[in-house]
Amino acid sequence: MVEIRLRNSRTRSVVPLEPTVEPGRVKMYVCGPTVYDRAHLGNARPVIVFDVLYRLLRHVYGEGNVTYARNFTDVDDRINATALARKDAGAPGTLEDLIAERSAETIAWYHADMDALGNLRPDHEPRATDFIGQMIAMIADLIAKGHAYEKEGHVLFRVRSYAEYGKLSGRSVDDMIAGARVEVAPFKEDPMDFVLWKPSTDDLPGWDSPWGRGRPGWHIECSAMAHELLGQSFDIHGGGNDLLFPHHENEIAQSACAHPEGDFARIWMHNEMLQVEGKKMSKSLGNFFTVRDLLDQGVPGEVIRFVFLGTHYSKPMDWTEKKRSDMERALVGFFRVTHGIEPADVPPKSFVALLANDLNTPAAIAKLHELQREGDFAELKAAMSVLGLPSAEEVSWWQGARRFNSVLDSPEFALRLNELANRWQDLRIQRDFASADHLKQRAEAAGIKLWVSAGGANVEAGPDFDPAKLEGLL
């Protein structure tokens, strides 16, 4: 069996995946979205990263031997605020009805957008509101063991009761207090203590508990859901690195104290954040957009996915228009040579080995190009599937319906340029370099530039482009 090695944030090293809780079976939990609005582009990164890992695990261990859980947080002030605004605007129904309606609406949006990016649905998609009983039981257990306390209707976790607190983020409790903004409240014994349960007013969602009507804190939700679905020990816990502290640090503390006989998660994986054209995505900078924005602009979901896979998950990713264009062209090349080809029964072992080495998707993509160059189209098609890319037969845009070059506004000319680039690339794949060079020289005489990048063949019509000469090239 292929050995999978993954970067463990807790040990700060790449370690072998060794599913010893249930040998031969892998369990993975990934923190999902808070369902108050459309998923922005950055929200898609952990979904794609852990979807590729899920596919790899299923390939190595078998589909029936992998369990993947990703939650929906449907208890949140932002959901409440949206529902209140709708109620104030005259929407019919109780506030509870409007909250449930908003959550269901947003989950449906999320599913549609993530499906469009080629992601498989997890085996479990728990909603926080369906596990309130388990959260209350876990909180009561923490109080009984001295790790939590109730004051003024709040229940808080006693951070200093867990000696290992801070090991994930690599900071001591005192350093955290000195270097971070923490909520100071009269009901806290220590500034670092965090909320497990808080009171709800009559006009907001709430559940009866031993500490009064209230609702859970954010951190306890994932601990309770992960324990209920995966047990006290499981193999992988994932999410964006923005969750490393305090969310995942707090998850570890409360889970380890509630279930000291277990390991909770053996490996902690975190993907880095996303930028747009070299800058942090921000509404104030005008570079903030959702996945749906891109889809509605006509960017295919598989192109978005492919751009994401071009950067290792542990590195910051920069979304640029050039990357989108380059990766779209690369996909066109892959689709063109695999159309109508029966995929190999299994992808090449060398390709799987690259993914198994800490999910090295950039190296895996380089392997796709190598398979294309060598004419191993059946293996190329099988390898693409492991990355979650569709087959050429499942999509049609690549056949020329989309613009190939932003310089031209005419879809007809864009299509013809696409055909020219494809022919030139075909000659190169066939190693007929003399014919390829001759075609390139004739294209340059017509004002058309042809070149190769990591994304495949590129074409651009310059200012001296003569459309009349294009027909003679094809």
Contact 46, 305 (CB under 8 A): no
Using only C-alpha atoms, the chain has a radius of gyration, in whole angstroms, of 26
Q: How far apart are CA 316 and CA 314, in angstroms?
A: 7
247 known member of a binding site: yes
Q: How far apart are CA 348 and CA 342, in angstroms?
A: 15
Number of other residues whose CB lies within 10 A of the CB of residue 85: 12
31 known member of a binding site: yes
Residue 415 carries which side chain, given as an amino acid letter?
A: L
For tokens 């209350």, name the residue: 136
Q: Of 420, 427, 423, 474, which Cα lies nearest the Cα of 449?
A: 420
The angle, 0 to 180 degrees and rounded to 10, between the axes of the packed helices 77-88 and 95-116 is 120
Query: Which tokens belong to 102?
Result: 């908003």
- Sheet (strand 264-271) strand order: 66-70, 26-30, 233-240, 264-271
For tokens 């098609």, name the residue: 381
Residue 330 carries which side chain, given as an amino acid letter?
A: A
Q: How far apart are CA 448 and CA 436, in angstroms?
A: 14
* Helix, strand, coil percent values for the chain (each to nearest 5): 45, 15, 35
Contact 211, 197 (CB under 8 A): yes
283 known member of a binding site: yes
154 forms bridges with which residues in the sheet? Answer: 151
Classify burial at 179, counting beta carbons within 10 Å of its beta carbon; exposed 0-12, middle 13-18, buried 19 or more: exposed
251 known member of a binding site: yes
CA 206 to chain centre: 31
Question: 103 φ, ψ to 5°?
Answer: -65, -45
CB-based burial, 450-459: b 16+ in 10 Å, e otherwise: beeeebbbbb
Q: How far apart are CA 107 and CA 83, in angstroms?
A: 15
**What does the H/E/C string look like for 310-327?**
CCCCCCCEEECHHHHHHH
What residues are designated binding site for Zn(2+)? Answer: 31, 222, 247, 251
What residues are designated binding site for ATP? Answer: 283
What residues are designated binding site? Answer: 31, 222, 247, 251, 283
